[in-house]
Structure 1
Amino acid sequence: MTTFVLVPGAWHGGWWYEPLAAELEKRGHQAESVTLAGLWPDDDLTRRPVNLTAHVDQLDTLVEDLTAGGGLVVLVGHSYGGQVINEVADRNPARVSALVHLDTDILEDGESCWDVTTEENRKYFLESVGADGLGLAPMPFFDERARPHPFATLLQKTRLTGAWKSVPVKRYAAALETPGGLQAPVAMDRVRNDPDWHYVEWPTTHNVLRDGPERVLGLLSDL
């Protein structure tokens, strides 16, 4: 049995992974679908502001609990979730057997999502931040369960020692049919020819689960 920890991208909760988690559990694995702080239906960012550190601390606590008996976890991140899983792996890479990035940003120490994202995304962030300046409104085509995403998480600089790179298995799936500039070209350039990464390109949009979990299951099947 493998323990998979599934971290969604911005605006989304653990519900995004439901089809994948169900299939993993059918195969005898444990699948923990994470909803990050500020993205639960009743969360109010005006009462509890959330930054990147809050998300990293939350996931770090979960991984600590899951590995308390000596087991390891596979961390899976989609989009924004990629920087969260890398920071958690950086804190203690010995707990992590693999990092799987689904069309994510791959940040270096001192970078933020804002630094590496596309101009189209930056424009949307500024247009959607709303009157309180705290939460970015979901994009209009998102699932109705999507929630305002804490803007601070996309602005705060990541802090990495580089220890996360010692995780033995690192995989990246690049979605090549994403309209509107949502794709992560910086990350693709960083890992495409890196021998430490297994890099694949998929004929899908950034929402890699839109057509079902099969492609992602294939990427996870031997972990």
Structure 2
Amino acid sequence: MTNFVMVPGMWLGAWAWDAVAEPLRAAGHDVTAVTLGGLAERASEAGAATLESHIGDVVAAAGEHPAVTLVAHSYGCFPVRGAVERLAGRVTRVVYVDSGPVPDGTAQADFGTEPDPTGTAVAPPSFDPADDPVLFAGLEGRSAWIRERATPHPYATVAAKLRLRDPDQPPTDLVCSTFTRDNVEGMIAAGHPFFAGLDRRDYRVHELPTGHWPMFSRPADLAALLDR
């Protein structure tokens, strides 16, 4: 049995993991899905949300479990990477879903994320495959459902730079949905900073071809992979 703590990316809450968490719980695992401050049912906290508070949300979700597996989708890699330091040896494995263990000094804004006209939030995208057939692949018929539940993401958490003291990584799995195993292993071999600390062999790369949101487009397959 594994104690999973699952952290969604931008605009999403714990609800995004429902279709993945259900089969994992049925298989006997403990699953805690996280809603980060300022999102979903916690939208009223947007003004107080920071990257540090999001890291604290992940640490709090780990509770008193002596051993946890952290699962990070997209932006979730930032609070998860920070929580790895806080939780230290209690993290037995980290699974990055279409993301990776970004290094010290990196911000989500470095990937080109722009705020809305108010400068305080980042508006959700359309999630429509017609707008981006690669990024939104597999979301046909589900785009409106996702948009109805998505909430603006607090820009302060996007602009903040992740600060780390320890470059070491626990055993790590990378789930590749919009990029390939060869892409990732080539970047690791070349010392790409976004995969810092993975220049060793206790990481694994798994291909799950789909769009950037496999918890919506291939939830059963993602759950089966996590179960394995």
CA deviations on 1:19-64 (whole Å, 9 max, x unpaired) are 1111111111111011000003462367x3311011001211222x
Displacement of 1:105: 4.2
Q: Which of the numbers 138, 154, 172 marks the counterpart of 2:124?
A: 138
For structure 1, the 5+ residue unaligned runs are 178-184
The equivalent of 2:177 in structure 1 is 175
Distance 1:188 1:108, change over 3 A: farther
- Equivalent position amino acid for 2:53 in 1: A
Q: Does 1:81 align with 2:73?
A: no
The equivalent of 2:59 in structure 1 is 60
Distance 1:42 1:24, change over 3 A: closer
The equivalent of 1:189 in structure 2 is 187
For structure 2, the 5+ residue unaligned runs are 128-142, 189-194
Distance 1:134 1:207, change over 3 A: same
Distance 1:202 1:41, change over 3 A: same
Distance 1:111 1:150, change over 3 A: same
Question: RMSD of the alignment, in Å?
Answer: 2.5
The equivalent of 1:101 in structure 2 is 96
Aligned residue pair count: 200
Percent identity reads 30
TM-score by length of 2: 0.78
- 8 A Cα contact 1:52 1:154, kept in partner: yes
Q: Whole-Å Cα distance in 1 between the matches of residues 75 and 185 of structure 2?
A: 12
Name the one with the larger helix percent: 2
Distance 1:188 1:107, change over 3 A: farther
- 8 A Cα contact 2:59 2:87, kept in partner: no
Q: Which of the numbers 205, 210, 216 marks the counterpart of 2:211?
A: 205
- Equivalent position amino acid for 1:195 in 2: R
Q: Does 1:149 align with 2:153?
A: yes
TM-score by length of 1: 0.80
The equivalent of 1:217 in structure 2 is 223
